[in-house]
Amino acid sequence: METNREKVFESIRREVVKYESEKRYRHTLSVYEESAALAKLFNLSDSDSFALEKAALVHDITKDFSGEKQLELCSRYGIRTDKKPDDPMPVMHQYTGAEFARELFGKDIIDDTVFSAVGCHTTGKVGMSLVDKLLFIADFIEPTRQYESCKELRRAFYNRCEDKKDNTEALAVVLDETIQMCIENTIVHLLQRRMEIEENVIPLWNSLLKSGGQNNGS
């Protein structure tokens, strides 16, 4: 099993590096390492940890694509958008990336769990699964992120997790509350710069408020 996993990871890495800048690929590998650590911390099953680590490796596969290429992929995959090629597209890669990775690697590797996690890793969504949440957090707090907000959230997250390692319910609360903080930071950042807020973020924020920070999937 372990040998097969490593073969899959290696085949993914060989392809992903073709589409990402050197800096982007360093980030990708850091998210992969962060995801592996989180899988252990949250005691994921073998299948979920495998899915999370695959998702980490492919999550930014289309991030460096041009606006024109993003829209070409939207057309190919039936992704609805009113964007123009020169418009900012900070989150489009989560939608095109999930589809592109599935086309590239097939549904056996990019299964529904991987597809879902990649497809919401930037904005989140209402009803995220544990794998969705862990990729979202790994992407935000991985150590190559040098934004002060990311570094502060990383410190706070692991400090709070330290004395809860054997308490699954307590860890889940910390995870959900950290996601809420991530979303709050993102919204404040966008508002301060008078930038567009992606349509999935508002219902997620509202659901987090109504549930006291918890965003439970099925």
pLDDT string in tens for the chain (218-residue length):
577 999 999 999 999 999 999 999 999 999 999 999 999 999 999 999 999 999 999 999 999 999 999 999 999 999 999 999 999 999 999 999 999 999 999 999 999 999 999 999 999 999 999 999 999 999 999 999 988 889 999 999 999 999 888 899 999 999 999 999 999 988 998 899 998 898 889 999 999 888 765 665 53
Domain map of the chain by residue range? 2-210
Amino acid at 8: V
Q: Where are the alpha helices (DSSP H) in 61-167?
A: 67-77, 92-105, 112-119, 130-141, 148-162
Question: Token pair for residue 31?
Answer: 């998210």
Cβ contacts of 5 within 8 Å, gap of 6 or more:
50, 53
Measure the CA–CA gap between 86 and 76, rounded to whole angstroms. 19
Under DSSP, the state recorded for 87 is S
Superfamily name and number for 2-210: Hypothetical protein af1432 (1.10.3210.10)
Q: What token pair was written down for 99?
A: 């589809």
Helix segments in the chain, DSSP class H: 2-16, 22-41, 46-58, 67-77, 92-105, 112-119, 130-141, 148-162, 168-192, 201-210
CA dist., res. 183 & res. 187, Å (int): 6
